[in-house]
């Protein structure tokens, strides 16, 4: 009998998702936001995502053996709840709640999951409900999916799970061993999130914007060392400034922030609008520099010996999506292989919890080679959506999708690209993308201003043939998921200027043959036409929206922007 494990995330009231393993093979995974069209799907559970996973696998609800959730009760005998209460001494209601009712959130989440199972037709009495600690789920999503053999260092940097914020350990013989956890409010991810709010962005999304703003500033202009320190193996956040609760929070227009009035007194008012200017670009640079410094110090302290021994590191948690940190890690001589879970944030814990449940039942999960795990749509469904759309778009079949799309790109046109199964995780990797020719001057600004409607200083990323990556960058480290930035060689900066960031780097996807054939063939056509084998790639959505899932979603986005060309499967859609 096959072991069928359904992972369900959403315990922290954002980014709910579902993932389904059948005998160790990840057959489907999707985020709820894509189906309900509500970015991060806050305060929801992954009902539609779970329905999709079961439908995709052809599995009846009654066939599920295990439901794994990335949240678990933390006993009072462990230091987590005591540390939390002690560090939040200035908010005694929070501390007492942690000590006396410290698993309240877990019980609430478990009850919501049982209700969800009823909606799915799964009898909670007939399945095993496996509660996996949040950071173990992150760790499993990195280590068990990495494909690494031998001893592997594991690092997790996140905002917060139950109480833990940061994880250091190692994997060996498919088992995960914990070395150290840090506990809220001592959270490097939480500190970055608090400064993200101060810089005028929303947490969960804005961290990428801070990282994109940082290269425009001077990290030496302001000393942020007062915000956090790492001494004698302990991380400590200064809660006079950030990671604050209760009365310490800065409040404005009815909203409470994760930083204090004292931060405002020090740095001045919050940034507003879309302008990246002095002093805020320097604040972003200083925050990024502090994040990198402390993360590397912690990694060296707890994992340095293991990395020196094996050269392997698996990394997850929201902090693992900080590609500039990942660039610094790869640059270390002792790091031979770095696997960053492509869905490192909380949506990826559905995979992690399910993988952990498989492994502790003796079923080894497969290496994660790709993230094309969502729904796909046929040409017939695409045509039906076009015919039902009130704008009556024009459409025609393409005889050669890669060749005809490449010609549109080389002519300077952005093209919306909708092919095959939707990606899982925050990065568009050629399933639901907006593409451009990276040697076509001005195409990045055009996409920012007329299509994505986002800040003009935010960079775009290149997708490329795997064979091109060693030529364009100063490394041949695998980069299948856009989780790393690399320094671009001087000659390539002029060849593909539209995908080179202010600091001379690019966040790359280097695609292997056999994982996304149509996208690979498109880049082969680009190589034939331009000599580069590279496309500019950004997600198929507008600012503040979830990435497109269905043809109807794509058409809605298409007619709500200045896009002129939309390629869905072998159908070219235009506006008439």
What CATH number does residue 11 fall under? 3.30.420.40
Give dist(CA 328, CA 345) in Å, integer. Answer: 20
Give dist(CA 287, CA 283) in Å, integer. Answer: 6
Mean pLDDT of 567-576: 95
The last residue of one of the domains, among 257, 280, 304, is 304
Q: What are the tens digits of pLDDT across the range 296-342? A: 999 999 999 999 999 999 999 999 999 999 999 999 999 999 999 99
> Percent of the chain scored above 70 by pLDDT?
100
The predicted pLDDT at position 249 comes to: 97
Among the residue ranges 201-205, 224-228, 400-404, 480-484, the one predicted with the least confidence is: 201-205
Q: Is the confidence at residue 14, as pLDDT, over 80?
A: yes
Q: Are residues 488 and 547 in the same domain?
A: yes
Mean pLDDT of 39-52: 97
Overall size of the chain counted in residues: 576
Q: Is the confidence at residue 270, as pLDDT, over 70?
A: yes
Given a contact cutoff of 8 angstroms between Cβ atoms, the answer to whether 325 and 295 are in contact is yes
Give dist(CA 350, CA 287) in Å, integer. Answer: 30
Domain-located, residue 370: no
Q: What are the tens digits of pLDDT across the range 103-157? A: 999 999 999 999 999 999 999 999 999 999 999 999 999 999 999 999 999 999 9
The predicted pLDDT at position 450 comes to: 83
Mean pLDDT of 255-275: 94
Residue 519 corresponds to which tokens in the numbers above? 């996208």
The predicted pLDDT at position 339 comes to: 98
Q: Are residues 412 and 500 in the same domain?
A: yes
Q: Are residues 248 and 142 in the same domain?
A: no
* 19 φ, ψ (degrees, to nearest 5): -145, 145
Give the total number of structural domains in the chain. Answer: 3
Annotated catalytic residue within 14, 144, 282, 501? 14
Q: Is the confidence at residue 192, as pLDDT, over 80?
A: yes
Q: Are residues 517 and 566 in the same domain?
A: yes
Mean pLDDT of 414-425: 98
Domain-located, residue 523: yes
Q: Are residues 552 and 507 in the same domain?
A: yes
Q: Is the confidence at residue 159, as pLDDT, over 80?
A: yes
Positive or negative: CA dihedral 104, 184, 43, 54: negative
Give dist(CA 532, CA 482) in Å, integer. Answer: 18
Give dist(CA 212, CA 224) in Å, integer. Answer: 18
Give dist(CA 526, CA 544) in Å, integer. Answer: 30
Q: What are the tens digits of pLDDT across the range 518-529? A: 999 999 999 999
Q: Is the confidence at residue 454, as pLDDT, over 80?
A: no
Q: Are residues 492 and 446 in the same domain?
A: yes
Domain-located, residue 255: yes
Domain-located, residue 449: yes
Q: Are residues 396 and 288 in the same domain?
A: no
Domain-located, residue 385: yes
Q: Is the confidence at residue 448, as pLDDT, over 90?
A: no
Domain that holds residue 434: 379-574
Domain-located, residue 265: yes
The mean predicted confidence, pLDDT, of the chain is 96
The predicted pLDDT at position 11 comes to: 87
Is 389 a known active-site residue? no
pLDDT bucket at 276, cuts 50 / 70 / 90: confident
The predicted pLDDT at position 452 comes to: 82
Within 8 A by CB and 6+ apart from 154, the residues are: 139, 142, 143, 167, 168, 169, 170, 171, 176, 303, 313, 314, 315
Range list of β-strands (E), 50-127: 66-69
Query: If you ran DSSP here, which 8-state letter would residue 227 be given?
Result: G
Domain-located, residue 544: yes
Domain-located, residue 66: yes
The predicted pLDDT at position 451 comes to: 84
Give dist(CA 481, CA 91) in Å, integer. Answer: 41
Q: Are residues 72 and 209 in the same domain?
A: no
Element containing residue 529 per DSSP (H, E): helix 517-530
Q: What are the tens digits of pLDDT across the range 74-98? A: 999 999 999 999 999 999 999 999 9
152-157 vs 164-172, strand pairing mode: antiparallel
pLDDT bucket at 456, cuts 50 / 70 / 90: low
The predicted pLDDT at position 476 comes to: 86
Q: What are the tens digits of pLDDT across the range 214-235? A: 999 999 999 999 999 999 999 9
Q: Are residues 401 and 257 in the same domain?
A: no
Buried b (16+ CB within 10 A) or exposed e, 227-266: bbebeeeebebbbebbbbbeebbbeeeeeebbbbeebbee
Q: Is the confidence at residue 558, as pLDDT, over 70?
A: yes
The predicted pLDDT at position 576 comes to: 75
> Percent of the chain scored above 90 by pLDDT?
95
Q: Is the confidence at residue 461, as pLDDT, over 80?
A: yes
Q: Are residues 460 and 509 in the same domain?
A: yes
Q: Which single residue is written with the structure tokens 């409607």?
A: 453
Q: Is the confidence at residue 361, as pLDDT, over 90?
A: yes
Q: Are residues 53 and 190 in the same domain?
A: no
Give dist(CA 31, CA 9) in Å, integer. Answer: 9
Among the residue ranges 159-173, 189-203, 442-456, the one predicted with the least confidence is: 442-456
Q: Are residues 352 and 491 in the same domain?
A: no
For residue 470, how many C-alpha atoms fall within 13 Å in the half-sphere facing its CB? 5
Residue 325 corresponds to which tokens in the numbers above? 């940190």
What CATH number does residue 427 fall under? 3.90.870.20
394-397 vs 337-340, strand pairing mode: unpaired
Given a contact cutoff of 8 angstroms between Cβ atoms, the answer to whether 350 and 493 are in contact is no
């Amino acid at each position: 009998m096959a072991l069928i494990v359904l992972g369900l995330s959403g315990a922290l009231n954002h980014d709910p998702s579902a993932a389904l393993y059948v005998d160790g093979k990840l057959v489907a995974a999707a985020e709820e936001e894509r189906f309900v069209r509500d970015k991060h799907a806050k305060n929801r559970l992954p009902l539609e995502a779970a329905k999709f996973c079961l439908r995709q696998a052809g599995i009846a609800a009654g066939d599920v053996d295990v439901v794994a959730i990335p949240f678990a009760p933390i006993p009072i005998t462990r230091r987590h709840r005591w540390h939390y209460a002690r560090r939040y001494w200035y908010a005694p209601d929070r501390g007492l709640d942690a000590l006396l009712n410290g698993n309240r959130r877990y019980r609430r989440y478990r009850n919501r999951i049982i209700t969800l199972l009823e909606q799915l037709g799964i009898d909670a009495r007939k399945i095993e409900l496996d509660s996996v600690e949040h950071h173990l789920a992150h760790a499993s999503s990195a280590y068990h999916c990495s494909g690494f053999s031998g001893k592997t260092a594991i690092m997790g940097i996140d905002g917060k799970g139950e109480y833990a914020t940061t994880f250091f350990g190692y994997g060996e013989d498919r088992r995960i061993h914990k070395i150290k956890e840090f506990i809220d409010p001592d959270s490097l991810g939480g500190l970055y999130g608090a400064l993200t709010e101060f810089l005028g962005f929303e947490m969960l999304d804005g961290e990428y914007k801070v990282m994109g703003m940082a290269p425009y500033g001077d990290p030496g202009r302001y000393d942020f060392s007062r915000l956090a320190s790492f001494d004698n193996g302990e991380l400590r956040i200064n809660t006079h400034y950030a990671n604050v609760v209760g009365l310490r929070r800065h409040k404005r227009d009815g909203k409470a922030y994760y930083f204090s009035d004292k931060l405002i007194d020090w740095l001045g008012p919050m940034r507003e609008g879309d302008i990246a200017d002095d002093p805020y670009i320097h604040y972003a640079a200083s925050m990024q520099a502090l994040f990198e410094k402390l993360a590397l110090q912690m990694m060296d302290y707890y994992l340095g010996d293991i990395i020196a021994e094996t050269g392997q590191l698996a990394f997850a948690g929201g902090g693992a999506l900080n590609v500039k940190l990942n660039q610094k890690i790869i640059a270390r001589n002792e790091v031979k292989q770095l696997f960053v879970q492509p869905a490192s944030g909380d949506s990826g814990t559905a995979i992690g919890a399910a993988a952990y449940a498989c492994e502790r039942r003796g079923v080894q999960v497969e290496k994660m080679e790709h993230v094309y795990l969502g729904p796909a749509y046929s040409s017939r469904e695409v045509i039906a959506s076009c015919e039902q759309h009130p704008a009556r778009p024009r459409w025609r079949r393409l005889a050669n999708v890669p060749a005809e799309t490449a010609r549109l790109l080389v002519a300077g046109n952005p093209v919306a690209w909708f092919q095959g199964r939707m990606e899982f995780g925050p990065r568009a990797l050629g399933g639901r993308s907006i593409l451009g020719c990276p040697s076509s001057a001005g195409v990045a600004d055009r996409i920012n201003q007329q299509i994505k409607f986002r800040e003009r200083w935010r960079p775009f990323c290149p997708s490329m043939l795997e064979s091109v990556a060693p030529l364009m960058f100063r490394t041949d480290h695998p980069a299948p998921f856009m989780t790393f930035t690399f320094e671009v060689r001087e000659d390539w900066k002029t060849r593909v200027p539209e995908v080179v960031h202010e600091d001379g780097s690019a966040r790359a996807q280097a695609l292997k043959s056999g994982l996304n054939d149509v996208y690979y063939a498109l880049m082969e056509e680009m190589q034939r036409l331009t000599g580069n084998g590279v496309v500019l790639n950004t997600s198929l959505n507008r600012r503040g929206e979830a990435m497109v899932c269905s043809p109807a979603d794509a058409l809605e986005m298409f007619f709500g922007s200045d896009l002129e060309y939309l390629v869905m499967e072998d159908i070219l859609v235009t506006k008439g």
